[in-house]
Amino acid sequence: MKFFIDTANIEEIREAHALGILSGVTTNPSLVAREKGVSFHERLQEITSLVKDSVSAEVIALDFEGMMAEAKELTAIAPNITIKLPMTPDGLKAVAALSKDGVQTNVTLIFSANQALLAARAGASYVSPFLGRLDDIGQNGLDLVSDIADIFAIHDIPTEIIAASIRHPMHITQAALKGAHIATVPYKVIMSLFHHPLTEKGIEAFIKDWNSRPEA
């Protein structure tokens, strides 16, 4: 399973990129709205000049023509822009048209296996099941990832599964075990993956022992 970062914050992207673990970035309108004083397009230019892998940029329009017009503007920013579209009939029409033109697409707000199958058949490069938001309403987001992974494997579907709406480290371990190809993870959760009390205790002990050498 690969890691994407789920943010529009350039500092967070820079830090995660420096760790050498990033295979892409996802943004959404809510994440972009948190970034003050910079336009969406300028921010995408900054991100794509740093990260050469997939950078998902979401359309705002809800109708096919509007989505296609936005997709045209967004793909002109950089060749690695992936167009993120909502799981609606117009969204899938746009996925079908864009995929015919060789444009990468990410269908977002996936909450059922049937939605994922429809999106994949329309030609989506990625589908994004939202784990945390399902957990929030008492359903199991990880079971959804597992179902989608099984269906895609049985039917030899190349669409990649991005486990999204990740809230904590166990979501990541479990999404990897259930067959997600990618997890898109907030910066804070990425950094939390480093912590283990035995790692920290071990480092402390090694330094202490080193400094207690007779010649030190």
Tell whether residue 9 is a contact of ligand E4P (CB under 6 A). no
CA distance 108 to 88: 10
Q: 3-state SS of the chain: helix, strand, coil percent to 5?
A: 50, 20, 30
* Per-residue tokens: 210: 């080193």
Site string for ligand E4P, 57-96 (x = CB under 6 A): ----------------------------------------
Instruction: Please report whether residue 2 would count as binding ligand E4P according to CB under 6 A.
Output: no
DSSP 8-state class, residue 55: E
Report the alpha-carbon distance of residue 12 to residue 6 in Å, rounded: 10
Residue of 9, 54, 82, 128 that binds ligand E4P (CB under 6 A): 128
Counting contacts by CB under 6 A, is residue 132 touching ligand E4P?
yes
Could you say which of 108, 125, 146, 174 contacts ligand E4P (CB under 6 A)? 108
The active-site residue, picked from 2, 36, 84, 201, is 84
Closest separation between CB of residue 14 and ligand E4P, Å?
19
Which one, 16 or 201, has the nearer CB to ligand E4P? 16
User: Cα separation of 43 and 58, whole Å?
Assistant: 13
Q: Which residue has 């790692």 as its token pair?
A: 199
Give the position of tokens 């959804």: 144
Shortest Cβ 216–ligand E4P spacing (Å): 48
Would residue 36 show up in a list of annotated catalytic residues for this protein? no
Total residues contacting ligand E4P by CB under 6 A comes to 11
Residue closer to ligand E4P (CB basis): 86 or 113:
86
Nearest of 23, 41, 8, 10 to residue 181 by alpha carbon:
23
Out of 75, 115, 125, 165, name the contact with ligand E4P by CB under 6 A: 165
Query: Looking at 59-98, which runs of residues are DSSP E strands?
Result: 81-86
Rounded CA gap, 212 and 216, in Å?
A: 6
Rule CB under 6 A: which of 172-191 touch ligand E4P?
184
Please give the torsion angle defined by the CA atoms of residues 193, 198, 203 and 207, in that order, rounded to the nearest 10 degrees. Answer: 160
Binding residue for ligand E4P, selected from 5, 6, 13, 59, defined by CB under 6 A: 6
Interaction site with ligand E4P (CB under 6 A): 6, 26, 28, 108, 128, 130, 132-133, 164-165, 184
Tell me the catalytic residues.
Answer: 84
